[in-house]
Amino acid sequence: MSGRRVLTLPATGYRRERWRNGRGWTREILALPAGADWALRLSIAELDAAADFSPFPGVEREQVLLHGNGLRLQFDDGQVAELLPPHQRIRFAGSRAVTGVPLDGPVQVFNLMWRPGSLAAHLFHRPLVGDMWCFGDGQTGWAVHVLAGSARMGGADGQDGTLLAAGDSAWLPPPATGRWRHPIDGAGELLLVQVQWPATGAGGGRPLPA
């Protein structure tokens, strides 16, 4: 039942690209499947000034403030929300028109996007003190992002594991068959994304990066 398959995603390897309006940057952590037709995408948005977010019809979004003094989200329908330190978060439909306004300096925001017609995603913010476990099966994978401190993936029971520093991530894909559990140990804070594919037809079509 224990699992050791991990795709490590160091912060130095995130793909960084300019926004189409030139007012911000995106660092892509993970896209499943890779390319424009993803069903799940994890990234970090960097804003230096007020910028319109690109619309994503049919996509759900959840954002968490990572760094900076705050971000105001001004929706065209009149709603105004603020992401304030340390790690305030918000979920909204990707089809909604919204402008992000940094509060007192540049900000960085963790950005989770997924297509509900293809999969379900659940975001958790958890402290890491000692050991924890991620459990999954043939339809469940986990993404891990280290907010602060460090985390060792697969480091329990005397194993050396893979050490992740603050800003690094990892992907724990579903196994081809059976159930699994994966140990994480260390000290700090994590963002955990549980990804679940529908049981019907989820077998060979799942995107499982090696």
pLDDT band at 24 (very low <50, low <70, confident <90, very high): confident
pLDDT over 70 percentage in the chain:
90
Coil/strand/helix, residue 3: coil
Closest CA to 39 of 210, 193, 175: 193
Tell me whether strands 120-136 and 98-102 are parallel, antiparallel or unpaired. Answer: unpaired
Residue 147 confidence (pLDDT) above 70: yes
Whether 181 and 54 have beta carbons less than 8 Å apart is answered as no
Long-range CB contacts (within 8 A, 24+) of 18-25: 19/51, 19/54, 20/54, 21/51, 21/52, 23/47, 23/48, 23/49, 23/50, 23/51, 23/52, 24/48, 24/51, 24/100
How far apart (Å, rounded) are the C-alpha atoms in residues 210 and 207?
A: 10
pLDDT digits (tens, 9 = 90+) for 80-133: 999 999 999 999 999 999 999 999 999 999 999 999 999 999 999 999 998 999
Say what the pTM is: 0.90
pLDDT band at 175 (very low <50, low <70, confident <90, very high): confident
Coil/strand/helix, residue 85: coil
pLDDT band at 159 (very low <50, low <70, confident <90, very high): low
Mean pLDDT of 10-25: 88
Alpha helix (H) residue ranges in 60-183: none
pLDDT band at 4 (very low <50, low <70, confident <90, very high): low
- Report the mean per-residue pLDDT for the chain: 89
Find where tokens 């077998």 sit: 203
